[in-house]
Amino acid sequence: MLKLTRYVLYDIIRSRVVLAYAVFLLLVSLSLFNLEDNPSKAILSLLNIVLIVVPLISMIFTTIHYYNSYEFIELMLSQPLSRTRILLSEYAGVAISMITAFLIGIGIPVLIYVPDAVGATLVLTGCGLTLVFTSIAFLASVKARDKARGIGSVLLLWFYFSLIYDGLVLLILFSLSDYPMEKFTLLLAALNPVDLGRISIMLKLDVSALMGYTGALYKEFFGSNAGVLFTSAMMVLWTAVPLWTALLVFRKKDL
Amino acid sequence: MLLTILNLCIVVMLSANTIEVGKDRRGGTLRQAVSLAKSGDTILLYPGVYNEGNIIISRSLHLLGIGSPVLDGELKNELLTLSGHGIVVKGITFRNAGYSSMNDFAAIKVIDATGVRIENNTIENSSFAIHFANSTLSVIRGNTIRGNNKSEHSSGNGIHLWKCSQMLVENNSIEGHRDGIYFEFVTFSVIVQNRSERNIRYGLHFMFSNDDHYEANVFRNNGAGVAVMFSKKVTMVNNHFEENWGAAAYGILLKEIKEGTIIRNTFLKNTVGIFMEGSSRLLIEKNNFRNNGWAVKVQASCDENDFGFNNFFGNSFDISTNGTMMLNRFYSNYWDRYEGYDLDRDGVGDVPFHPVSMYGMIIENNPTTLILLRSFMVSLLDKAEKAIPSLTPENLIDDKPVIKPNRL
């Protein structure tokens, strides 16, 4: 499996897309930190990058990579290797390269300019989101019949997680505003990895605002050790469940 | 004739005795010394612990502690009760004054007095520490007050002034009481350079107190910040309001305040910097609002307030309000969210700034939506509202936002 992952990694590095991604992130974060006199404002802009760009690129890259290495996968399948191992090595290769690019592009500048709890949370959240969306993209590409459908569904999923879902939450909160919704919103937030990531960073950034009104409840829940555990567990679930489903589908798929 | 007057003076001077109280001193107990002392006498209290119950002083005595003697109330008694004029209490440690739900027991209680000075005392573990009622022209200076009360109802205020006038509260440090400093019906008084921290309720609580001035105080981490209510002509200059966190915590809560001035104060990391309700004709200038949840919450019941030359940095929300009516003026403030331009380079932005965001209005209506803070959805909504304003109050604008922070 390690050998296979090494081949996948070698293939990805040769294509230079990941390199471009890392350079892009590095340029963005360096220019943000140098433009803004206040590093916490730069962190705010980086937050948007982490929550929007990172999931998008992770998903699109994963899908394109999957379809591009389709022939390689077919070749491997003719060898005495299990399908699970092949797909897992593909996943490991893609995830490792994406996370490395993210760490080079955003992790290093953030840890240099804001080496505190906010910075660390931002980097961890970014890594978590990369893992989650790579695995969701694997599921989508394994399920879809061709490349166009695969990319289409991945874009739709990205749109859903980063925009439509929050719109739905807003709608639900307004239409049910006569009821006590605080606990329910906690559940709603847990059902979207982007929201989970955003809340864990927000807890470090906007502590004063969060202490007001219902915010105290959110802080109490997500800010406690149990909350951090809960967030991490949800992120792991969001990674594991799509990947496991993808394995199930891939094992039975008529290639 | 002249000789007679001179003689009289000498007699008066000689009659101002000094009585020493303490172990191995001739003055006996403190109670005896106080009852023997004549007006104008000085009592020197030497080190030791005195458990003498409630001591009442009604002549103009100077009670001076040498090397911080301790008066201990054993959680039963009021310690000192003063009434009269020209009484001085200095350099004494008061400990364990009693608590009663019937009376407001205090470490030092002053009733119907004038010209009293309470200086450099330490007051520990008491419900009320310094309690003034119906007094004038008195000074409370340099005292250190530490309470360790847990609940609001079982605890008293650090410095409590009721129906006083021309008072000076200076350089005290107060911690762990119900309200750090409490003013009710206090007029023409000054509060300077005090520190009020970690009190259960308010750091400073102002009720029905007109024409007062407070300057260079620090109010930090109090249960509900500072409340100024039902008062006129209060000036607040150079104070620091910091880290007042909680659902009902405000840097300052202004309720029914008229004609006050709030100048050059710093509001740092409060849940709400200033909360205003029913206030009018206030001048709020040259303040720094930094990293607050909401910098200013102006309820629609406020009118004719002027917000000018303030700096807003890193607040989650700059201004929020609960209605579309806005009768206040905003001018020449610096907003770090301002995205306009300055073509003629006169330092003033060419496009007006709308400090109330769409999401700020949404949260005001439905606080649960705070969970969406900083989401993509919310920033899209804000952008849309900026392009076509419909929900935010259209006349809440800063016409001349400055490009660089105001120098304060």
Residue-wise DSSP of B331-370:
ES-EETT-----TT-SSB-SS-B--S-HHHHHHHH-GGGG
CA distance A137 to B104: 69
Give the model's confidence band at A244: pLDDT under 50 very low, under 70 low, under 90 confident, else very high. very high
Residue A133 has pLDDT above 90, yes or no: yes
- B289 and B310 Cβ atoms separated by less than 8 Å: yes
Chain B residues within an 8 Å CB radius of A218: 370-371
CA B3 to chain CA mean position, Å: 53
Q: Average of pLDDT values for B228-244?
A: 94
Is the Cβ pair B294, A211 closer than 8 Å?
A: no
Q: Do A211 and B380 touch (CB under 8 A)?
A: no
Tokens of A180: 């006590």
| Bridge partners of residue B307, in order along the sequence | B284, B330
Is A182 strand, coil or helix? Answer: helix
Does the beta-carbon distance from A208 to B370 stay under 8 Å? no
Partner residue facing B293 (CB), from A38, A181, A208: A208
Helix/strand/coil for B159: strand
Mean pLDDT, rounded, for B112-130:
94
Which SS3 state, helix, strand or coil, does residue B99 take? coil
- Higher confidence at residue B71 or residue B154? B71
A52/B370 Cβ within 8 A: no
Q: Which two tokens stand for residue A215?
A: 């915010």
pLDDT at A38 over 90: no
Is B245 in Cβ contact with A208 (below 8 Å)?
yes
- DSSP tag of B372: G
Euclidean distance between CA atoms A106 and A21, whole angstroms: 11
Helix (H, G, I), strand (E, B) or coil at B10: helix
Binning chain B into helix, strand and coil, the percentages to the nearest 5 are 10, 40, 50
**What is the rounded average pLDDT for all residues in chain A?**
91
Cβ count within 10 A of residue B48 = 15
Check residues B224 and B253 and name the one with the higher pLDDT: B253
Residue written as tokens 């906010």? A118
How far apart CA B137 and CA A73 sit, in angstroms, is: 91
Over range B8-32, report the average pLDDT: 73
* Facing A214 at nearest CB: one of B291, B317, B367: B367
Q: How far is CA A180 from CA A174, A183, A191, A212, B50, in A?
A: 12, 8, 19, 16, 57
Give the pLDDT of residue B192: 96
In degrees and rounded to multiples of 5, residue B349 shows phi and psi of -60, 145
Q: Determine the Cα–Cα distance for residues B366 and B361; give it in Å rounded to an integer.
A: 9
| Least Cα separation, residue B135 to chain A (angstroms) | 39
Distance from CA of B352 to the nearest CA of A (A): 22
B245·A162 Cβ contact <8 A: no
B147's CB contacts (< 8 A; 6+ apart) are B124, B125, B126, B127, B129, B155, B156, B158, B175, B176, B177
Residue B304's CB: how many other CB atoms inside 10 A? Answer: 13
ipTM: 0.85
Q: Assess whether pLDDT exceeds 80 at residue B347.
A: yes
Domain boundaries, chain A: 2-252
CB A8 within 8 A of CB A93: yes
Contacts of A71 (CB under 8 A, 6+ apart): none
Least CB-CB distance to A185: which of B247, B336, B371?
A: B371
Whether residue B269 and residue A195 make contact (CB cut-off 8 A), yes or no, is: no
B366 close to A (CB below 8 A)? yes
pLDDT at B249: 87
Q: What is the mean pLDDT of residues A207-234?
A: 82
Average pLDDT over residues A18-23: 95
Asked if the C-beta of B153 comes within 8 angstroms of chain A's C-beta atoms, the answer is no
Using a CB-CB cut-off of 8 Å, the residues of chain B touching A209 are: 271, 292-294, 316-317, 370, 373
C-alpha–C-alpha distance, residues A31 and A41, integer Å: 12
Q: Do A211 and B379 touch (CB under 8 A)?
A: no
B294 in A contact zone (CB under 8 Å): yes
Confidence of residue B11 (pLDDT cuts 50, 70, 90): very low
**Shortest Cα distance from B362 to chain A (angstroms)?**
9
Contact yes or no for A198 and B374 at CB 8 A:
yes
Nearest-Cα residue of chain A relative to residue B293: A209
Query: How far is B383 from chain A, CA to nearest CA, in Å?
Result: 14
Q: Which residues of A are less than 8 Å from B380 in CB distance?
A: 163
Mutation target to probe the A interface, by most A beta carbons within 10 A, among B370, B385, B403 is B370
Give the confidence band of B28 by pLDDT, cuts at 50, 70, 90.
Answer: confident
- Kindly determine whether residue A209 and residue B293, on different chains, have CB atoms separated by under 8 Å: yes
- CB–CB of A166 and B375 under 8 A? yes
Output the average pLDDT for chain B: 90
Inform me whether the pLDDT recorded for A104 exceeds 60. yes
- Quick check: B373 and A174 CB within 8 A? no
> Given a cut of 70, is residue A92 above it in pLDDT?
yes
Residue B349 to chain A, least CA–CA distance (Å): 19
Q: Which residue of B has its CA nearest to A196?
A: B371
Diameter of chain B by CA atoms? 93
Q: Assign B128 a pLDDT band (cuts: 50, 70, 90).
A: very high
DSSP type of residue A240: H
Task: Name the burial class of residue B101, with classes exposed (0-12), middle (13-18) and buried (19+) by CB atoms within 10 angstroms of its CB.
Answer: exposed
Which residues are CB-contacts of B379 (< 8 A; sequence separation ≥ 6)? Answer: A48
Average pLDDT over residues B315-326: 88
B389, amino acid identity: P
Q: Which residue has the higher pLDDT, A75 or B10?
A: A75
Tens-place pLDDT, residues B73-102: 888 889 999 999 999 999 999 999 888 878
Domains with residue ranges and CATH for chain B: 17-223 (2.160.20.10), 235-356+393-408 (no CATH)
pLDDT of residue B4: 59
- Is the Cβ pair A212, B380 closer than 8 Å? no
Paired residues of B284 in beta bridges:
B262, B307
CA distance B309 to B284: 9
Sign of CA dihedral B239, B242, B244, B250: positive
CB contact under 8 A, A177 and B368: yes
Q: What pLDDT shows up at residue B100?
A: 81
User: How does DSSP classify residue B329?
Assistant: E
List of chain B residues whose C-beta atoms are within 8 Å of the C-beta of residue A170 = 362, 369, 372, 377
Which residue, B217, B311, B305, B179, is CA-closest to B254? B305
Looking at the predicted structure, is the pLDDT value of residue B104 above 90? no
- Between A167, A212, A214, which is nearest B377 by CB? A167
For residue A213, what pLDDT is reported? 61
Where residue A120 falls among pLDDT bands split at 50, 70, 90? very high
Question: In 3D, which of B195, B166, B198 has the Cα closest to residue B183?
Answer: B166
pLDDT at B5 over 80: no
Q: Is there a contact between A208 and B376 if contact means CB atoms under 8 Å apart?
A: no
List the 220-279 stretch of B: residues with Cβ below 8 A of A.
245-247, 249, 269-272
Res A183 pLDDT > 90: no
pLDDT at B6: 53
Q: B73 in helix, strand or coil?
A: coil
Collapse the DSSP code of A217 into the 3-class scheme (helix H, G, I; strand E, B; otherwise coil) and give the result. helix
Phi, psi of B125 (to 5 degrees): 50, 50
